[in-house]
Chains A and B, each alone.
Chain A
Amino acid sequence: MHEFALADAVMKAACRAARDAGMSRITSVTVRVGELQQIETALFEFSLSEVLPAGDPLLEGARFVVEAEPVRFHCRVCDLGFGRGDLEGEGTDDALEAMHFIPELCHAFLRCPRCGSPDFAVVAGRGVTISAVEGEDSPDAGPT
């Protein structure tokens, strides 16, 4: 259920970025949702579209595009690149839940499938990122 908190963060960050760029209205926000955090996409999209936009007029009529991003790891020890499918098992329910709350805890629960090291980088698909904010110029916006 902390999807609401993440959706709230997306809303506020998108509005801040749009205002900084001199937009008067946001037409679309594209959000990448990383596989590692196991966000409940339906709940996240519901929060984005139905629950939270009322808080800021800049978002009136805005469209939200949620794109899933597969997780990719790179082992710093043996140089192996790997994905979730390369790991043995999915981890315990508690491990999955922990990574849902704090994706960095993957280093406590996952290991490089070749050398067994926890010292790997998450190179893609960690969590929630805004990949694009599109909108219309504010009439009184100065030259950029």
Chain B
Amino acid sequence: MPGPLDAVDPRAAVVEDRLAGVGRIVAVTGSKGGIGKSVVSASLALAWADAGRRVGLLDLDFTSPCSHVILGADEGFPGEGFGVDPKDTAGVSLMSVAFFAPEVAVPLRGDEVAGAFLELLAVTRWGELDLLVLDLPPGLGDIALDVVRLVPRVEFLLLSTSSRVVLGSVERALRLLTGLRVPVLGLAENLQQGNDQGVSRLGASFGVPFLGALPYDAGLEDALGDPGRLRATAFFAAVRRLAGRLSG
């Protein structure tokens, strides 16, 4: 009879099961903060839902979650059954730590971020989805590395602006992801104001498709929290085109 095995964290064993009913998993990242990853993630999910796709959105920015604000989600805890049910928000199945800890600071160190992520992966019941969007926090830290390590079939969408500061950071992310042979769907430019070709040139230098530009839209801020108004913005029209290219 073999001796007792060492201590095992059971959660990783069910991640694949929990995501078994999900068709594609798209992780939206961009290395730098403030470039619109969350607004693009939530809008992409909304655009896909509008097109009749079954879509989930997981907000992985645990210390500064905002997907619930962008989509105007109801407050309160998610439902609980065999696991935890995402909240239906404007047709998107949304999961966020903000549902559990609204309006309080959530100061987490790296291993605590990783623990919260694994817990959510293990207990969230996504059911059948065509697409699941992962809204990543800035940087290539614990969440990005755990997405690569734990999430099966994940594909990355990288966002950049034309700022040299952002481009340099996205270039490093591209170097890492392509080096790890992680699928990269492409690169999109956000907050576009001019006609700089820097983002498309960066994509070309890595052989990564340039998926288009999302314009800076002064009316976007006022539309946040109201999916109806969000859909009416020029920004969302561009997101719809991006969603079409990604699912085409």
Contacts and interface: CB of A to CB of B under 8 A. Distances in A.
B14 A9 contact: yes
Contacts of A27: 1
Nearest to A32: B7
Interface string A117-133: 01100000011111111
Given A4-B83, A13-B12, A97 B77 contact: yes
Interface stretch (B24-32, B100-108, B186-194): B100-108
A2 interface: yes
B120 interface: yes
A80 interface: no
Given A4-B82, A5-B125, A14 B2 contact: no
Contacts of A32: 7
Contact of A102 (B7, B14, B80, B119): B119
B84 interface: yes
Interface in A52-82: none
A130 B12 CA distance: 12
Interface string B76-96: 010011111000000000000
A8 B12 CA distance: 11
A76 B147 CA distance: 28
Interface residues of A, number: 46
A13 B10 contact: yes
A9 B11 contact: yes
Nearest to B119: A102
Given A2-B80, A9-B14, A127-B119, A108 B5 contact: no
Contacts of A101: 77, 84, 100, 119, 123
Interface string A86-109: 000000001001100111110111
Contacts, number: 131
Nearest to A37: B119
A27 B112 CA distance: 33
Contact of A129 (B8, B14, B80): B8
Contacts of A131: 4, 7
Contact of A103 (B9, B106, B119): B119
B13 A12 contact: yes
B100 A14 contact: no
B129 interface: no
A102 B1 contact: no
Given A16-B13, A17-B8, A102-B120, A108 B83 contact: no
B39 interface: no
Nearest to A25: B1
Report the 3 A-B pairs with minimum CB-CB distance, sorted nearest first: A13-B10, A132-B4, A5-B83
Interface of B: 1-5, 7-14, 17, 62, 77, 80-84, 97, 100-101, 104-109, 112-113, 115-116, 119-120, 122-123, 125
6 contacts: A6-B122, A9-B10, A18-B5, A98-B77, A130-B9, A131-B4
